[in-house]
Amino acid sequence: MAGKPAGLTASWSEVWLLDGVRTPFADYNGALAQVSPTDLGIKAARAVFARSGVSPRDVGAVITGSMAQASFDTYCLPRHVALYSDVPIEVPAHMVQRVCGTGLEVLMQAADFVTHKEIELTLCVGAESMSRNPVASYTMRDGFRMGGVDFKDFLWEALRDPAADVSMGDTAENLARQYQITRGEVDAFAAQSFERAVAAQTSGFLAGEITPVKNETFERAPYQPRALKLKGVKELAADTHVRPSPLATLAAIRPAFGGVQTGGNSSAIVDGAAAALVASSDYVNTSSKAALARVRAGATVGVPPEIMGIGPVPAIKAVLERAGLKLSDIDRFEINEAFSAQVMACARELGIDEAKLNVNGGAIAIGHPLGATGVRLTLTLARELKRARLRYGIAAACIGGGQGIALLVENPDLPPPRKN
């Protein structure tokens, strides 16, 4: 159809991000390493109800996202998040999966539910345990021959795309070559991400979206209790990967993929969860709650797998076209920092001013728990728009396999924009 934006797009007129919260993001094999993603999701869900003052009994649908089969009962993750956060027993729950864009997809589906399924309030949860990715075999069911045992590290193998025969890191290296991005530039970008995240943590901005986590039991009669138990600490109240990381330190790290990307200038591997409430205008009005953001438009677009990191570019273009806005109208961007070179390539292709991009740090410093990241990006973005008294923001992510996703939100505290 002529004039139609590429990919899948949608716009919504009466959808609101009512509130949101997340757990701290903990380093791989750190304090959250033994916690099921289900329990991380339950914790975040309970926290968003406690923070917002909204009753879980008002929820009409539960949408969750998680990538790895990181617990034997993860098939039931959506249902258990709903049950143990005290959502009514008759309310359905389901899981979505769009790799690194999963959390954004959760919010976009919630917006569709509010618009088209007469749902007044949707609970949205993204949860991921990167530490509990299993060592797995897909060939043992029929037995094996001597010497033929085939177990592999699920987390490591999942970072490779067999279609293009590249690792996710290789896709960033492809973009670095295409956009002539140097090792010095990617390290400087990473140093800035850490510096901004340290400042946001020190000022208390990040703490404003975090619920501290302690050992806890979750109960819902007549069902079996569940438990969340930390590793090595009694309480976790802040992201653990955020730390001073000067350029000289990052420059000393060896390349991970034979080019510019290293463990220091790529997204941190962390565990964590985030939850949000997406509501209709009627619910916002009757509940007298001050919404965090208006959810305006979303887009998902495919790109070649070998340069999957460029995915945010066509997704952002599509969401702008859908919303009738220009890039210059957008005051803040949260683009997931899968890799420094990947985000830099997107910023260069679009012409984004880095003063508007990931101003409180990104996944290089904070971390990237796959299923939770999109919710975190949107929550951080909405809070930043309110703090800075700015109007429009876009959260976006590249997606393994070759896709991009973007979500446009608006600060509800400002008067309507003037019409030309």
| Active site (catalytic) residues | 100, 398
CA distance 92 to 14: 22
Phi, psi values for residue 95, rounded to 5°: -110, 140
**Tokens describing residue 10:** 């949608």
d(C-alpha 386, C-alpha 389), whole Å: 5
Using a 10 angstrom Cβ sphere, with 0-12 exposed, 13-18 middle and 19 or more buried, the burial of residue 302 is middle
Q: What CA–CA distance (Å, rounded) separates 44 from 50? A: 10
User: Which two three-digit tokens encode residue 339?
Assistant: 């890799």
What are 49's strand-pairing partners?
none
- Gyration radius of the chain over CA positions: 21
Query: Nearest CA to 62 among 41, 43, 47?
Result: 41
Task: Report d(CA 215, CA 234) in Å as an integer.
Answer: 7
